[in-house]
Amino acid sequence: MYHDNFEVINVAASLRSSKALGPGNRAVLWVMGCNQRCRGCISPEWQSHEPVHWVNVKTLSQELLIDNPAVRGISISGGEPMLQSKSTTAMLRYARQYRDFDVLVYSGYTLDQLLVSSLPGVQDFLDEIDVLIDGPYRQELAVNGQLFGSSNQRIHFLSDRIKPQEITDWEHRLEIQVTEGQAMMVGIPDARHIAAFDSAIDRFHSQNSSQGISLSETHQEAE
Ligand code: SF4
C-alpha cells in the first residue's frame, strides 16, 4: 500500500538531532505504514497506513537537513520507508541541491527483494541511500547493542559516504527525547530498556497526575 501524492510524506515522527541511530549527529525521520507485521514490532501503531501527519517534502527537507547544518546525515525508518520511496527520494534530492549529507535507511525488505522490486520509486530511492539496514525484525533472533534489532538483518554499504569503520566504532546508545508532551525512546532497545522506560513513564504519571501533567509515550526504533 502506498499513496500517490509524491509531494508529501506521511510522517510518524521526526527529530532534528539524535546520536542513537547511526554514526554522528543525525536527523531522524520515521514514516507511517508497514505491511510486514513482524512479531515483536516495537512500533505497531506505525504499521497503519492511515494519514497521520502529511508533510510537504520541501518543508521536511528544509527542517531536517537544509536548515540543520549540525547533522551529518539522516536516518530513515518507520514504518516502511520503501512504501513512500518517491516522496522520500524527492525530499533527499531537494536537500542534496543545497548540501552534502549521508543517508541511512532501515527497511523490512531485503536488498535482494528491493533490487527487483516494482514498488514505485524504489530504484531511485536506493540510488540516494548510503547505508541500508535490511530485513524484517525477527524476535527469535533478537540481538542487543547493535545498530539493528535481529541477527538476520544486514548492513549494506551502497556508497562510500559512510565508512564501515564508522559503523564498527558506533557506540550503542538510547535517548529519551521529550517534545511537546511526548516522551520518545530513540534507538534500538531490548526488552529491559522498554520495561524501564514504561515504568519511568508510569512513575512520572503517578507523581504528576494531581497537577494535570501528562506525557504520552512512544518507542522509536529502527526495525
Ligand atoms: S519491525 Fe519494522 S518491518 Fe517489522 S512490522 Fe515493525 S515497522 Fe514493519
Fold held by 8-173: TIM Barrel (3.20.20)
**Residue 93, Cβ density class (10 Å: 0-12 exposed, 13-18 middle, ≥19 buried):** middle
Mean pLDDT of 153-167: 97
Q: How far apart are CA 168 and CA 20, in angstroms?
A: 14
- Give the three cell numbers for residue 34: 508497514
- For residue 149 and ligand 1, the question of a CB distance below 6 A is answered with no
- Mapped onto helix, strand or coil, the DSSP state of residue 2 is coil
- Position 182 scores a pLDDT of 79
- What are the extents of the domains in the chain? 8-173
- Give the three cell numbers for residue 141: 533472533
Q: Specify the range with the lowest mean pLDDT, choosing from 83-87, 123-127, 175-179, 180-184.
A: 180-184
**Residue minimizing CA distance to atom 3 of ligand 1:** 108
Q: How far apart are CA 191 and CA 42, in angstroms?
A: 10
Q: Rounded to the nearest 5°, which phi and psi values hold at 136?
A: -75, 155
- For residue 33 and ligand 1, the question of a CB distance below 6 A is answered with no
- For residue 80 and ligand 1, the question of a CB distance below 6 A is answered with yes
Q: What is the pTM of this model?
A: 0.90
The residues facing 73 across adjacent strands are: 26, 102
